[in-house]
């Protein structure tokens, strides 16, 4: 099989033009082309009137070696790499090495915990999976209930429950992580087997939206259970059993809120970035935790049609292109970076609180991405050295303080405080919406958002919005709506692990993983990290390292 990269065709090319372009590129007769499949498809929209599709293709041809030799100067032609997933050990090898030991335990059913559990189950290790929240259907009822009736369940919401933080999301499935072993492909392949559309395998920026994610998460649970995995919902881990040994701690078990103790020597900790009580427990138990940078800012809503027009011009609305996204960065004169984060085309802004008396925003969409507004977080980077020094958990206190301010400024009833972009930049409170109607539920209370954020962040954002207009024409729109507050952009802590074994720096058998541990930032990268730690668990079992 040969891989052809960078094969370009116009956006509206006919189906037959693709094989014709392959024949031309390889300079072979039609009968020598035995078959082909699309490995990736992206687009180049820099010229709006002449948008180009860019293909990577896997092509089967007669006399493959001769073709390769003849075209050896073509950098974009090579033998197709084998991207199939290879297990690090067989179930038989692991069964022998693991005999008599307690089962591995996974905390969290977000993408990281889900993939860790799936891989452990596929390797025959029958993991026990502990989730503080509810099954995804019941969780959906609680979460939508909060948006409609302002009644927050601190254990069942946008952050907590089966499927993790990304369940009510845009379901963007791409990442910029280095992935030489093609773990991302394994994640996408498993998602397709669980019901995701096949296109996620080959389009360059795939997304699946909220409702499909819910079904996929359920299907993956069924698969894991069929392989011997065991789920426990409403089972919050509140303590760890760590045996102190001469050279550090060794995990021996976990304790649930109801007092039940589960023995294990291999614990995958995939608790996400909002498990603040769990971070506190880890710190108290002496597990190595350090503060980490993250970002704060607002959600911004524009009409989706404005973004589509700016990115795609006359091709706005083309079915292959879908709703347009954007990516923005501005380096403010006070030294702060301001950037767009988790952009959701054709989506809605959602209430993402997990603690009472605090307001947090985030974004989600459905597969169709056909809501009227585009939303994105616009955030300012902050760091522990400068902004919350002195304690490994100081970032959590900082987040809590800002979220509580947002709650008060919104009217202390879970409305988000909001402001028009023009008013924010001009430094005056807003009193009425313009043409952009915000999507946040339960509601938006217009006010002066400068009161919530530290001055450096306000200054940097006021500079960034007009500057973004140079990157997306029309972005600095007087009546675009800002809502606050974005604080959960990534984890405020890192639960540091060793590079070789992926176990905690000072606690053997503990595998900190995913976004909460500071090793992922998104659904795909969290899933990939879940695969990596499952492999590390298997390798540790084989090596007999965690006894």
Where do contacts with ligand FAD occur on this chain (CB under 6 A)? Answer: 107-113, 130-133, 158, 160-161, 164-166, 168-172, 236-237, 270-272, 275, 278, 342, 350, 352, 362-364, 514-516, 520-524, 526
CA 264 – CA 537 distance, rounded (Å): 12
Shortest distance (Å) from residue 402 CB to ligand FAD: 17
Distance CA 296, CA 356 (A): 19
Nearer Cβ to ligand FAD (95/256): 256
Q: How far is the CB of 519 from ligand FAD (least distance, A)?
A: 8
Q: What is the C-alpha separation between 547 and 541, in angstroms, rounded?
A: 8
Least distance (Å) between residue 531 CB and ligand FAD:
12
Residue 271 vs 461, nearer CB to ligand FAD:
271
Give, in order, the Cα–Cα distances in Å from 118 to each of 111, 113, 305: 10, 8, 40
When the beta carbons of 281 and 321 are compared against ligand FAD, the nearer one is: 281
Question: Considering the complex, what minimum distance in angstroms separates the CB of residue 343 from ligand FAD?
Answer: 9
- CA separation for the pair 25, 28 (Å, rounded): 8
Q: Which is nearer to ligand FAD, 98 or 299 (CB)?
A: 299
Q: How far apart are CA 106 and CA 128, in angstroms?
A: 6
Q: CB of 373: closest distance to ligand FAD in angstroms?
A: 15
Decide: residue 101, CB within 10 A, 0-12 exposed, 13-18 middle, 19+ buried: middle
Q: Which two tokens stand for residue 146?
A: 């909060």
CA 272 – CA 24 distance, rounded (Å) = 49
- Least separation in angstroms between CB 363 and ligand FAD: 6
Q: Which is nearer to ligand FAD, 4 or 106 (CB)?
A: 106
Residue corresponding to tokens 């503080």: 132
Shortest Cβ distance from residue 8 to ligand FAD (Å)? 28
* Closer by beta carbon to ligand FAD, 352 or else 480: 352
Cβ at position 320, least distance to ligand FAD in Å:
20
Whether the Cβ atoms of residue 374 and residue 347 lie closer than 8 Å to each other: yes
CA distance 511 to 514: 10
Q: What is the DSSP string of 104-139?
A: PEEE--SHHHHHHHHHHHHTT---EEE-SS--HHHH
Joined tokens for residue 193: 């087997």
Nearest CB to ligand FAD, comparing residues 270 and 380: 270
CA–CA gap between residue 510 and residue 169 (Å, rounded): 29
**Helix or strand (DSSP H, E) at 37:** strand 33-44
Task: Determine phi and psi for 423, rounding to 5 degrees.
Answer: -65, -40
Residue-wise DSSP of 492-507: SEE--B-TTT--BSSE
For residue 516, count CB atoms less than 10 angstroms from its CB and return exposed for 0-12, middle for 13-18, buried for 19 or more: buried
234: Cα within 13 Å, side-chain hemisphere: 6
In whole angstroms, the minimum distance from the beta carbon of 31 to ligand FAD comes to 44
* Least distance (Å) between residue 543 CB and ligand FAD: 26
- CB nearer to ligand FAD: pick between 172 and 508: 172
Min. distance of Cβ 101 from ligand FAD in angstroms?
22
* 272 or 410: CB nearest ligand FAD: 272
Would you say 271 or 537 has its CB closer to ligand FAD? 271
Q: Using the minimum distance from each CB to ligand FAD, give the nearer residue, 253 or 521.
A: 521
């Amino acid at each position: 099989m040969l891989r052809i990269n960078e094969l370009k065709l116009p956006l509206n090319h006919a189906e037959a033009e693709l094989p014709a372009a392959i024949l031309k590129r390889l300079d072979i007769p039609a009968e020598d082309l035995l078959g082909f499949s699309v490995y990736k498809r992206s687009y180049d929209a820099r010229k709006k009137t002449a948008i180009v599709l860019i293909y990577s293709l896997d092509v089967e041809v007669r006399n493959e070696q001769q073709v390769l030799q003849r075209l050896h100067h073509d950098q974009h032609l090579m033998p197709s790499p084998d991207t199939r997933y290879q297990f690090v050990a067989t179930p038989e090898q692991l069964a022998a090495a693991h005999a008599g030991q307690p089962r591995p335990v996974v905390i969290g059913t977000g993408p990281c915990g889900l993939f860790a559990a799936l891989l452990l189950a596929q390797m025959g290790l029958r993991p026990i999976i502990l989730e503080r929240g509810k099954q995804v259907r019941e969780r959906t009822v609680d979460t939508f209930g909060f948006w409609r009736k302002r009644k927050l369940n601190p254990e069942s919401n946008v952050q907590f429950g089966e499927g993790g933080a990304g369940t009510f999301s845009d379901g963007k499935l791409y990442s910029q992580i280095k992935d030489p072993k093609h773990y991302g492909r394994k994640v996408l392949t498993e998602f397709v087997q669980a019901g995701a559309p096949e296109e996620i395998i080959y389009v360059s920026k795939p997304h699946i939206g909220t409702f499909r994610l819910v079904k996929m998460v359920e299907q993956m649970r069924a698969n894991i259970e069929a392989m011997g995995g065991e789920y426990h919902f409403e089972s919050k881990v509140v303590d760890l059993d760590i045996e102190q040994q001469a050279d550090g701690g060794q995990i021996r078990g976990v304790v649930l809120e109801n007092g039940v103790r589960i023995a294990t020597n291999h614990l995958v900790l995939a608790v996400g970035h909002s498990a603040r009580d769990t971070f506190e427990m880890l710190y108290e138990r002496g597990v190595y935790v350090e503060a980490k940078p993250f970002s704060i800012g607002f959600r911004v809503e524009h009409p989706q049609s404005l973004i589509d027009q700016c990115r795609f011009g006359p091709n706005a609305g083309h079915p292959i292109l879908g709703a347009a996204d954007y990516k923005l960065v501005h380096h403010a004169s006070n030294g702060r970076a301001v950037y767009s984060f988790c952009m959701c085309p054709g989506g809605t802004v959602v209430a993402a609180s997990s603690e009472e008396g605090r307001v947090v925003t985030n974004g989600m969409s459905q597969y169709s991405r056909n809501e009227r507004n585009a939303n994105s977080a616009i955030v300012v980077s902050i760091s522990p050295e400068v902004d919350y020094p002195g304690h490994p958990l100081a970032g959590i206190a900082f987040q809590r303080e800002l979220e509580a301010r947002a709650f008060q400024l919104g009217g202390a009833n879970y409305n988000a405080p909001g402001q028009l972009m023009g008013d924010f930049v001009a430094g005056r409170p807003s009193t009425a919406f313009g043409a952009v109607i915000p999507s946040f539920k339960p509601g938006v209370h217009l006010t002066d958002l400068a009161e919530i954020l530290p001055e450096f962040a306000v200054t940097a954002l006021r500079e960034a919005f007009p500057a973004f207009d140079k990157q997306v024409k029309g972005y600095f729109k007087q009546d675009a709506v800002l809502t606050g507050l974005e604080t959960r952009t990534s984890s405020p802590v890192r639960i540091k692990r060793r590079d070789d074994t992926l176990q905690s720096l000072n606690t053997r058998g503990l595998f900190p993983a995913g976004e909460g541990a500071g090793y992922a930032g998104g659904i795909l990268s969290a899933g990939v990290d879940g695969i990596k730690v499952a492999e590390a668990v298997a390798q540790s079992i084989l090596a007999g390292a965690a006894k």
